[in-house]
Amino acid sequence: MSRQPVADAFSVEPRSGVAAALLPWFGRSARDLPWRKDRTGYRVWVSEVMLQRTRVATVIPYYERFLTAFPSIRDLATADIDQVLALWSGLGYYRRARSLHEGARDVVARFGGELPRSVELLRTIKGIGPYTAGAIASMAFGIRTPLVDGNVLRVLVRLHAIREDARQTRVQRRLWSLAEALVPADLPGLFNEALMELGATVCLPRDPLCLLCPLAFICEGNRLGIAASLPILAPPRPLLVIHAAALIAKQADSVLLGRRRGDVLFGGLWEPPLVEASSPEEASRCLASFAASPIPVGKVQHILSHRKMHVTVFQGNLTNSPRYPEMYEEVRWVKEDNLHLYGISTLARKLLAQGVG
């Protein structure tokens, strides 16, 4: 059977060809996910923010707990940031939680608690970028508008066999235009979701399942046999290596925690106080500003998207006049039984596991 070159396929039926193949496939193959029921702008917003850089299986319990605690934008807007961060604990990329909270307050202040039905206005809300605006507008409000996330990017790059660095601005712009050309006027949200689902379940990063793909008949990457090698992505910057020393200080049934300032990494989250430095020796030396006779009890390694942290964990008491690093806005004793009420990062959990319980 001869294949139709992708350019011809798109020029003949720019939208309906892809939509006609993709939507029935999605109808048969869509995963049953909690955010696909009872769609509202708020529910799409929360789910899409949680799903950024995070696996679906990880997100599901967080999403359900979050929606139970904050069933509406107003509930989220009036919540304390500590409560929001506590529910986000362990999900990572905590800036997302802070942005969502700020965004909810913005929506209440400027739009009376209702998300506006306009891509342009959605993009003026704190924390809502082009992708999230496209998701809310198309999936919740049926507006014909595209979106490009990591999954859609991969599908589009392969469909068009784009052999350039997909992180380049020029290529990104092209991908948004290609996505826009594909979105049908009918069911734009379902189409966008189907394209993301295809990327997540069929057009997989390492081994695309082209034999199962409803778009194989127009996929140039598949035709050329180069799909698995795409997209081309310039290597990310090497990880910054950070050394740190953390203190687990205990008093009766409480442990000392510091809350990071809002404008630093892990902003608003609580952790055993630590100092960062360029070497383990320097970090241990700096710990003396608040730790008396600290004893090393373990080491923790933690990798984030842009940094690798090596932390030596100490147990000890506080000095008479402790001076904590500037990144902490508050330090307090917290009962170990109450730790679940605090926003605590995965790194902090690892640190606490060395000396608490």
Q: Supply the residues annotated as catalytic.
A: 48
Q: How far is the CB of 14 from ligand SF4 (least distance, A)?
A: 17
User: In this chain, which of 9, 67, 182, 215 binds ligand SF4, going by CB under 6 A?
Assistant: 215
User: In this chain, which of 51, 147, 159, 175 binds ligand SF4, going by CB under 6 A?
Assistant: 159
Q: By C-beta, is 129 or 205 nearer to ligand SF4?
A: 205
Q: How far is the CB of 220 from ligand SF4 (least distance, A)?
A: 8
Residue 79: which of 103, 47, 101 has the closest Cα?
Answer: 101
Which residue's entry shows tokens 């940094």?
307
Are the C-beta atoms of residues 124 and 149 closer than 8 Å to each other? no
**Single-letter amino acid code for the residue at 220:** E
Residue 304: which of 56, 80, 81, 53 has the closest Cα?
Answer: 53
Q: Determine if 166 is a binding residue for ligand SF4 (CB under 6 A).
A: no
Q: How many residues bind ligand SF4 (CB under 6 A)?
A: 15
124: which 2 tokens?
Answer: 């003026």
Buried b (16+ CB within 10 A) or exposed e, 55-93: eeeebeebbeebbeebeebbebbebeeebbbbbbbebbe
Alpha helix ranges (H) inside 35-90: 41-51, 56-69, 73-78, 81-88
User: In this chain, which of 210, 244, 283, 291 binds ligand SF4, going by CB under 6 A?
Assistant: 210
Using CA atoms, how far apart are residues 37 and 49, in angstroms rounded to an integer? 17
**Which one of the spans 3-11, 200-208, 280-288, 349-357 is the region binding ligand SF4 (CB under 6 A)?**
200-208
Q: How far is the CB of 154 from ligand SF4 (least distance, A)?
A: 7
15: which 2 tokens?
Answer: 């939208």
**Residues 116-155, mask of contacts with ligand SF4 (x by CB under 6 A):** ---------------------------------------x
282: which 2 tokens?
Answer: 């320097």
Q: By C-beta, is 149 or 276 nearer to ligand SF4?
A: 149
Q: Residue 202 half-sphere exposure, CB side, CA atoms within 13 Å?
A: 22
User: In this chain, which of 99, 138, 222, 315 binds ligand SF4, going by CB under 6 A?
Assistant: 222
Q: How far is the CB of 3 from ligand SF4 (least distance, A)?
A: 11
Q: Determine if 272 is a binding residue for ligand SF4 (CB under 6 A).
A: no
> Which residues of the shown chain bind ligand SF4 in the complex (CB under 6 A)?
155, 158-159, 202-203, 208-210, 213, 215-216, 219, 221-222, 227
